[in-house]
Structure 1
Amino acid sequence: MARFSCIFALCCLLTASASNIRIKSLSAARSFPANFGFGASTASYQIEGAWDVDGKGISIWDYLVRTDPNHIADNSNGDIAANSYYNYKRDIEMLKELGATHYRFSISWPRILPLGRSNYVNQRGIDHYNAFIDELIANDIVPFATMYHWDLPQTLSELGGWTNEEIVDWFGDYARILYQNFGDRVKHWLTINEPYIHCNFGYGYGRHAPLIQSPGEGYYECGRHILLANARAYRIYNEDFRNTQNGQVGIVLSSDWAYPASDSADDIQAAEDYLAFHLRLYMDPIFSAQGNYPQTVIDRVQAASTAQGLTASRLRPFTQEQIEYIRGTSDFLALNTYSSKIVYRNSSLTGTFVVPSHNDDAFLDTYMDDSWPASESPWLREHAPGFYNLLVYIKDTYNNPTVYITENGFSSTPGLHDDGRVNYYRNYLSALLDALAEGCDVRGYFAWSLMDNFEWAMGYTQRFGLYQVDMEDPQRTRTPRKSALVYKEIISSRVIDYDYNPDPYDTDGAFTVSASIIMTLGVAVINMVL
């Protein structure tokens, strides 16, 4: 821990002053390897629409937007979203326009199993994803399929969802069906997306579906069962599918980088604890040599539980058998990361929560430097040096695991000139080049997101898309932003050219008009003539 603390002491000197400085290379090699994968990411509920067609069941988000529509910032929903259930061929055209080699998408659990359980499989859902995956393969795009991106079948939520340990079996059955139907073509499986965010907002503070408020108990139970469910899906693949399908299975974890607010011992420890409660809570059980939760988290939650008069820790321990069952159950780390935090600790932070909370257990608070460029999301400011720090930390802490960056992006308002996003991608990809030069085993990068989508409780008030989606157009027309043109150039050249300044309104510099758009225009002209 001494080396770790020294790193944090150094990092506290690199916050505000470094925020707007372009990353400097640690190596003369400033190009991405030829075999480095570039792609984009989406999630089923956020883009698919078609919420009740072809036998799909109701998800927890379908249920939320009907029972509590005011919970969404603009009272919107994902009933249609980007309409990708019907527009998926256009989405794949967009990937080809970018030159992307990979696509991370998610499969809707209730579209495959409308009642949540494996006793009834919806063949129309299977057929849809078969057609979609076939189209990706036909266009030489590698599918990265996420099994679960937060759209739990409502029937399972009514049985307790991720707070019910039976979900480990339910998820295992679901994973087996996915392997059986798609594993001959899908060679990269992502089991569960962002347990910290899903458990924190869904089962901790009730900001996301299923709106459960239990930050000191439900939050931990959710995470515990996600770790066990990931292990179940991984073990099933190992035992029954790996030898014939030759794929890989990994989990999607998320974290920001944490800087101490000062060089005080309290703040340095707080920054360490931030990573322990956000990243290591899920990484240590899978990627560490010993397995299990970080000892600092175990001790802190036990002490807080005892002080609250409880007879057992709110962080229910794993048995030794479960520790061994979970350890090693990810062939790679899928990492979602967006920003950085400055972390502090003082006496005002203790005992402030009436309800037991994992935030209270961690005994810290965070803020961001005002000089870091702001996005449309209050939680997201650009600070690329933190991205580099996080990747190096993961390399040093977990024996340099294989990593795919499966989400990284910047929110904006509608419009094609998105220079904030352009700067973000350039700086973060430059930081990634520095991490590669440092020896980090990062194999691919997926921009979030391919197109504008339903941003959960924020609805359509924040736009993350490389492509703008006209949400007022029944066809949900997609148009490339400036960032799409810049990303295309980076993918093509494998270098970052800060001087490249395309105009998204310049048709000579934009993408070639796709076949589907030509067809649409042709039909319109014919109708006008007739």
Structure 2
Amino acid sequence: MSSKPWLLLVVAAAAAAHKQSQLPSSGHSCDVAIPSTPTFDYGNFTYPASPIATTKPVSNKATPTPVSTYALHYSDVSSQFANLSSTTWPNWTPTFPLPSQSDESNPYGTAALTNLWQAARPTNFTRGIYSTAVSATPVPSKELIPPPPLYFTPHSCYKFPKDFIFGAGGSASQIEGAVADEGKSPSLQDVLANIISLAPGAVSGLLASPGSGGPVGDYVTGEHYYLYKQDIERLAAMGLKYLYLTIPWTRILPFALPGTPVNTKALDHYDDVINCLLEHGIQPNVGLTHFDTPLQFFGGSSNYLLNLAALQSSSTYGIGGISFGYSNETFVESFVNYAQIVMARYADRVPLWNTFNEPQIGCSDGVAVKNVLEAHARVYHYYKDTLKGKGKVSMKMGITPAVPRDASNQSHVEAANYFSDLYSGALLRPLALGEDYPEAFKLSVPDYVPLSKTDLEYMNGTMDFISLDAYSAPVIEPVVSNLTACATAYNKTTNPYRSFPICVNASSSVPPSHGDWSVGYSPYGSPTYYDSPLNLRTQLKYTYATYRLPVFISEFGLSLPAPPGGRLQDNLFNQPASEYLLSYLNEVLKAIWEDGVDVMGALVWNWADDWEFGSFAQGFGLQFVNFTTQERRYRRSFFDVMGFVEGRRME
């Protein structure tokens, strides 16, 4: 230690003052002395120049990604798939005629695919305006003119590490369209409207977007399946470097199960998508499933839709509610087979993988949780051991760690820990730490499947990072004084739609002793979607300290209703979304530099407006989409967030 500590303080203060002087100016600097009274001067008036934004994207020219190899090439492992057949199928429509009798004898032919769609009974099926891939065109320079600067922006001297991953995401079922084209079979998402019509109230606010006015059928969405080249061109023009995309199981394997033929057109399509991304300097982050389980895992009887609707009825938050088919006895083998086909084909070019999206939401019982754990671990080992993968693999946590409503109240702290262990710990502790299920999970879920020592050894370390879909934090308080007694008090009669009781409550306000204010700004008054950046920092620290792995914000964003008046300019000027994104990213910087949390990156949801499980009205997108013409327009939040991150990235 220096013998002159005062000297260190002087040097530190001088360094801090130097850093402060480098901040963007938005008014008076407190480091500059001011007179005790103002001086007034009529002077000569001139109009000030229009403010020029400093949030330009890094570049509007795509720079191809340097060639990197993250795993063995498909040719090195293709012998594994020597017995795998492949074929193609035509587009299906409700008026599609059944093929000849000879094709009906083929269990995987066009007639069989037609039968799948007829059994799914899509409501008000519609097609988009495109039927072939559209070539990219340069983005007009006028679209790349940044908006006027925000009046308030975070004034942090911290910078993002050079390798900080920043980008955006979108899932196939929400943005691609072409749901019955080129051999794709129906998934859960393609019959969501049917399920809701069969069982009103079947899907909770987690899937039916708040304020949407009720779910509606959708089969077109953003037609990204045909517009991907133009979409990638637009993302590259803004300087985006990472994109989360999903590859639909039902497009690769229309009949889902091992031994069924693979869709040649689908394999070629995603080959081209990934290559197009890399040619434009964008790294792909691939998800293997995103709420789009093939319908085969919900049963094959003629009334399976009614059975599925019953499973979804009155479902609530997370494990024990909605079923995504994970409990099916064939699910694990089938998912691993599908994942192997996809990874073997693309892993040489993909640095990041996610096996499941928000699996807690689709686990209706303890069997589903065990199946998800087993399937993920097997896919991880295949990637690392067989494909010699050098990239990183995780799964996206949809129910993120909780924060206590009143951190000074021990019962609230216990409730928050209970919630986090039940919903996140049940998956993360076995996979990240090789530890058994948390006690909260074993107490609460009566049909949980025990994990053996062999299971835990196999699962241990099969996560390279922790992915959090961190829109907002569950703010938790207890509903009973004894959580253990509550957790074991399961009553099928009083709890017919849930396999365990809920012993905590998610609040949307701070304690009454603190004014009973809302936890944060929520455009729809939802207790699960609100702006509260300080809670994000708490979640990041909790996750890193608990699971000892880098943390990745795999989704975050703010959905805004359309502004009144209907003016496109007002829709594009989505200032609250910008403020949300920048405040969250500023807390990420603090978590990195002040809390010592290894935050490896963040992805904004969504790169363009999408179908949010029942509604087109949710304005999550960094781009506005006209769903009639499929025209895209940049929103100001895209400029603001790119400028904030890339303007603060270390060299």
How far off its partner does 1:74 sit? 4.2
Structure having the higher helix fraction is 1
- The CA distance in 1 between the partners of 2:196 and 2:414, in whole Å, is 40
Contact 1:451 1:467 in 2 (8 A): yes
With over 3 angstroms needed to count, the CA separation of the structure-2 counterparts of 1:365 and 1:75, relative to structure 1, is closer
Q: Does 1:372 align with 2:536?
A: no
How far off its partner does 1:405 sit? 1.4
Q: Which amino acid aligns with 1:285?
A: P
With over 3 angstroms needed to count, the CA separation of the structure-2 counterparts of 1:403 and 1:345, relative to structure 1, is closer
Q: Does 1:292 align with 2:436?
A: yes
TM-score, normalised to structure 1, is 0.77
Q: Which residue of 2 aligns with 1:306?
A: none
Determine what percentage of the aligned residue pairs are the same residue.
Answer: 28
With over 3 angstroms needed to count, the CA separation of the structure-2 counterparts of 1:189 and 1:278, relative to structure 1, is same
Q: Does 1:412 align with 2:566?
A: no
How far off its partner does 1:97 sit? 2.6
- The CA distance in 1 between the partners of 2:380 and 2:497, in whole Å, is 31
Q: Which amino acid aligns with 2:410?
A: A
Q: Which residue of 2 aligns with 1:498?
A: none
Q: Does 1:96 align with 2:236?
A: yes
Residue aligned with 2:554, SS:
strand
TM-score, normalised to structure 2, is 0.63
Per-residue deviation, residues 353-393 of structure 1 (Å, max 9, x unmatched): 61267695451111112251113372211000111111111
Q: Which amino acid aligns with 2:627?
A: M
Q: Which amino acid aligns with 2:591?
A: A
Task: Give the one of 342, 359, 381 matched to 1:235.
Answer: 381
With over 3 angstroms needed to count, the CA separation of the structure-2 counterparts of 1:439 and 1:88, relative to structure 1, is same
Task: Give the one of 391, 406, 411 matched to 1:266.
Answer: 411
Q: Which amino acid aligns with 2:379?
A: A
Q: Which amino acid aligns with 1:343?
A: I
Contact 1:116 1:153 in 2 (8 A): yes
How far off its partner does 1:172 sit? 0.7
How far off its partner does 1:333 sit? 1.9
Q: Which amino acid aligns with 1:169?
A: E
With over 3 angstroms needed to count, the CA separation of the structure-2 counterparts of 1:165 and 1:325, relative to structure 1, is farther
Residue aligned with 1:131, SS:
helix
Contact 1:39 1:95 in 2 (8 A): no
How far off its partner does 1:184 sit? 2.0
Q: Does 1:171 align with 2:335?
A: yes
Task: Give the one of 263, 279, 284 matched to 1:138.
Answer: 279
Task: Give the one of 612, 619, 622 matched to 1:455.
Answer: 612
With over 3 angstroms needed to count, the CA separation of the structure-2 counterparts of 1:391 and 1:261, relative to structure 1, is closer
How far off its partner does 1:277 sit? 1.4
Residue aligned with 1:339, SS:
coil
With over 3 angstroms needed to count, the CA separation of the structure-2 counterparts of 1:420 and 1:257, relative to structure 1, is farther
Residue aligned with 1:162, SS:
coil
Contact 2:490 2:499 in 1 (8 A): no
With over 3 angstroms needed to count, the CA separation of the structure-2 counterparts of 1:24 and 1:140, relative to structure 1, is closer
Q: Which residue of 2 aligns with 1:58?
A: 186
Superposed, 1:15-30 pairs within 5 Å as: 29-30=157-158
Q: Which amino acid aligns with 1:383?
A: S
- The CA distance in 1 between the partners of 2:153 and 2:519, in whole Å, is 16
- The CA distance in 1 between the partners of 2:279 and 2:592, in whole Å, is 31
73-82 or 322-331: bigger deviation: 73-82
Q: Which residue of 1 aligns with 2:392?
A: 248
How far off its partner does 1:315 sit? 1.8
- The CA distance in 1 between the partners of 2:403 and 2:196, in whole Å, is 37
Q: Which residue of 1 aligns with 2:252?
A: 112
Q: Which residue of 1 aligns with 2:545?
A: 396
How far off its partner does 1:320 sit? 2.2
How far off its partner does 1:57 sit? 1.1
Contact 1:23 1:430 in 2 (8 A): no
How far off its partner does 1:170 sit? 0.6
Task: Give the one of 422, 446, 452 matched to 2:603.
Answer: 446
Contact 1:176 1:236 in 2 (8 A): yes
Per-residue deviation, residues 189-228 of structure 1 (Å, max 9, x unmatched): 11111111233xxxxxxxxxxxxxxxxxx33322221111
With over 3 angstroms needed to count, the CA separation of the structure-2 counterparts of 1:87 and 1:376, relative to structure 1, is farther
* Greater C-alpha radius of gyration: 2
- The CA distance in 1 between the partners of 2:185 and 2:466, in whole Å, is 30
List runs of 5+ in structure 1 lacking aligned partners: 1-21, 200-217, 303-312, 496-530
- The CA distance in 1 between the partners of 2:525 and 2:229, in whole Å, is 30
With over 3 angstroms needed to count, the CA separation of the structure-2 counterparts of 1:281 and 1:361, relative to structure 1, is farther
Q: Which amino acid aligns with 1:386?
A: N
- The CA distance in 2 between the partners of 1:132 and 1:117, in whole Å, is 25
- The CA distance in 1 between the partners of 2:180 and 2:636, in whole Å, is 35
- The CA distance in 2 between the partners of 1:31 and 1:412, in whole Å, is 29
Residue aligned with 1:148, SS:
coil
Contact 1:273 1:362 in 2 (8 A): no
251-260 or 34-43: bigger deviation: 251-260
With over 3 angstroms needed to count, the CA separation of the structure-2 counterparts of 1:24 and 1:484, relative to structure 1, is closer
With over 3 angstroms needed to count, the CA separation of the structure-2 counterparts of 1:446 and 1:377, relative to structure 1, is farther
Residue aligned with 1:279, SS:
helix
Contact 1:377 1:411 in 2 (8 A): no
- The CA distance in 2 between the partners of 1:79 and 1:111, in whole Å, is 14
Q: Which residue of 2 aligns with 1:523?
A: none
- The CA distance in 1 between the partners of 2:453 and 2:429, in whole Å, is 14
Contact 2:550 2:598 in 1 (8 A): yes
Task: Give the one of 628, 638, 645 matched to 1:484.
Answer: 638
- The CA distance in 1 between the partners of 2:238 and 2:547, in whole Å, is 33
- The CA distance in 1 between the partners of 2:299 and 2:490, in whole Å, is 32
321-330 or 440-449: bigger deviation: 321-330
Contact 1:404 1:442 in 2 (8 A): yes
Contact 2:404 2:475 in 1 (8 A): yes
Q: Does 1:337 align with 2:483?
A: no
How far off its partner does 1:76 sit? 2.6
Residue aligned with 1:52, SS:
coil
- The CA distance in 2 between the partners of 1:371 and 1:316, in whole Å, is 37
How far off its partner does 1:234 sit? 0.7
Residue aligned with 1:163, SS:
coil
Q: Does 1:326 align with 2:478?
A: no
How far off its partner does 1:423 sit? 1.0
Task: Give the one of 424, 430, 449 matched to 2:580.
Answer: 424
With over 3 angstroms needed to count, the CA separation of the structure-2 counterparts of 1:23 and 1:337, relative to structure 1, is farther
